[in-house]
């Protein structure tokens, strides 16, 4: 199960508050905080889409890029044995561990 919504290339993480009896979420992958909420699923989808549209419009008015700027590096924690095996395989292929991981991610993304 994936607790996400997707619209115009944006993803919204979705949660439910039993205390407040409301669905809520935020647009992921942007530098700004944009949230949405609703009492039912159909209203939540509409609220998310409305917030995406408003965010795109506001960014355009401000002359700002709406997407988060990714720097191209991140830390990944994996079990030691997988780390060891990945380094060994990279060495056998004559590439760096970074190149090995990049190729694995690219391969996985081809399936989406």
Closest by Cα among 29, 61, 36, 67 to 50 = 36
Instruction: State the pLDDT at residue 14.
Output: 95
Q: Which tens digits make up the pLDDT trace of 11-34?
A: 999 999 999 999 999 999 898 999
Contact yes or no for 54/65 (Cβ under 8 A): no
Continuous H helices in the chain = 41-62, 80-93, 97-110
Enter the tokens of residue 106: 């690219």
pLDDT band with cut points at 50, 70 and 90 for residue 100: very high
Q: Is the pLDDT of residue 104 over 80?
A: yes
Q: Which tens digits make up the pLDDT trace of 40-79?
A: 999 999 999 999 999 999 999 999 988 877 788 889 999 9
Q: Are strands 22-28 and 4-7 parallel, antiparallel or unpaired?
A: unpaired
């Amino acid at each position: 199960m994936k607790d996400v919504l997707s619209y115009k290339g944006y993803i919204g993480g979705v949660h439910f508050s039993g205390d407040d009896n409301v669905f809520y979420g935020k647009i992921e992958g942007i530098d700004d905080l944009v949230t949405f909420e609703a009492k039912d699923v159909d209203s939540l989808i509409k609220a998310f889409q409305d917030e995406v549209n408003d965010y795109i419009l506001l960014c355009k008015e401000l002359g700002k890029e709406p997407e988060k700027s990714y720097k191209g590096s991140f830390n990944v924690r994996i079990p030691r044995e997988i780390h060891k095996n990945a380094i060994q395989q990279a060495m056998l292929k004559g590439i760096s561990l970074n190149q090995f991981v990049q190729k694995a991610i690219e391969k996985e993304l081809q399936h989406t």
